[in-house]
Structure 1
Amino acid sequence: MTHPNRINSLAPSAYDALLVLSQESEEFAERAGLSPGVAELVKIRASQINGCAFCLRMHSKQAREQGETPDRLAVLSAWRETEYFTPEERAALSLTEKTTLIATAGSPYEHEREQMVLSNDQIAAVQWIVIAINAFNRVAVISEFDVKP
């Protein structure tokens, strides 16, 4: 049975375009030299900010499958207060917050700190991944995707 609020079912071609955007973002990130682990952390952090349980569960599982530790995942929302994350990861997480919280997190155009660690292509890759996951978060939340134990 199709849930009446699931916009992915009501406009499947739009959802398919979002899937393509996500895939293109991942491929661009790989070409830019951004590790898949960093991409998963970015998706999880954006999903934390957006309160998307469906995406949090999915990307936390994928991160663990790639070798991410439960300890690091447990403190991800407070990444600034820990020594768990590499400079590359910290730069990507900072960009994630700037891009997700675009109205309140300061200028999304100021990347001086991030440019000390990430290339311009890596910055763009993080931003595209964040744009895609933010869209997926919104689809999942407004469509009331099931998140059962």
Structure 2
Amino acid sequence: MQSRMTNPAALLPDAVKGINLIYKAAHSAGLAKSTLDLVHLRASQINGCSACVDSGARGMRQAGETDERLFAVAAWRETDYFTEAERAALELAEHATRLADRGDAVPDPVWEAAAKHFGEAELAALVLWIATTNFFNRINAVTRQPAGQNWG
């Protein structure tokens, strides 16, 4: 697959500045980077974003993530590789990514499970990072960014 254009964010310096600020905010709220990485990978799998799945999984592996957990992210409910907090984050990521799949996009029990494990700043980071991942996924899908390519 060939990309249609250079990633739009790389073409607009002000966009890169904004993206970097959101990245910094989400990653400085006290939430474990591994949790942010898991929700990024899961949302990217759902959206079929090969560039984000590839780069996310590679980054997670470089950070020391195990193959068992990497291979099981799409089937997180059926494994015991993830903590209860990670499961709550993954479920929130799935609901926040599949907004149109149900009338109540993020039901109270899903939110409450996440709120049980994360403080308000961590929840804010989680929601922002899920939304940012979906943002990246959509840019990459529209412009057909191939896996294995770096931008910016």
What is the TM-score when the length of structure 2 is the normalising length? 0.82
Could you tell me how far apart the structure 2 residues matched to 1:78 and 1:63 are? 17
Q: Which of residues 106, 109, 121 is equivalent to 1:108?
A: 106
Partners of 2:28 and 2:11 in 1: CA distance: 28
CA pair 117-139 structure 1, distance change in 2 beyond 3 A: same
User: Aligned residues: percent identity?
Assistant: 31
- Bigger relative contact order, structure 1 or 2, given CA contacts below 8 A and separation 6+? 2
Q: Which moves more between the two structures, 72-81 or 137-146?
A: 137-146
Number of aligned positions between the proteins: 144
Q: Which amino acid aligns with 2:96?
A: T
1:109 Cα deviation (Å)? 5.8
Shift >4 Å, 4+ stretches: none
State the match for 1:147 in structure 2: 147
1:113 and 1:6, CA in 2 relative to 1: closer, same or farther beyond 3 A?
closer
Q: Check conservation: 2:52, 2:147, Cα contact below 8 A.
A: no
Alignment equivalent of 2:73, drawn from 73, 76, 80: 76
Report the Cα offset of residue 81 of structure 1. 1.2
Q: Cα distance 1:14–1:80, how it changes in 2: closer, same or farther (>3 A)? A: same
The answer as to whether partners of 2:44 and 2:53 remain within 8 angstroms in 1 is yes
Change (3 A) 1:9 1:117: closer
> Is the Cα–Cα contact under 8 Å of residues 42 and 93 in structure 2 kept in the other structure?
yes
Aligned twin of 1:46: 43
State the Cα RMSD in Å: 2.3
The aligned counterpart of 2:118 is 118
User: Which consecutive residues of structure 2, in runs of 5 or more, have no partner in the other structure?
Assistant: none
Q: Secondary structure at the match of 1:103?
A: helix
Task: Please tell me whether the aligned partners of residues 92 and 123 of structure 1 are also in contact (alpha carbons under 8 angstroms).
Answer: no
Specify every segment of 5 or more residues in structure 1 that has no aligned partner in the other structure, as ranges: none
Matched position secondary structure for 1:138: helix
Q: In the alignment, which of 84, 92, 95 is matched to residue 95 of structure 1?
A: 92
> Aligned-pair distance for 1:48?
0.4
What residue identity is the alignment partner of 2:33? P
The residue number in structure 1 matching 2:83 is 86
Q: Out of 76-85 and 12-21, give the one that drifted further.
A: 12-21
Q: Give the C-alpha shift of residue 4 in structure 1.
A: 3.8
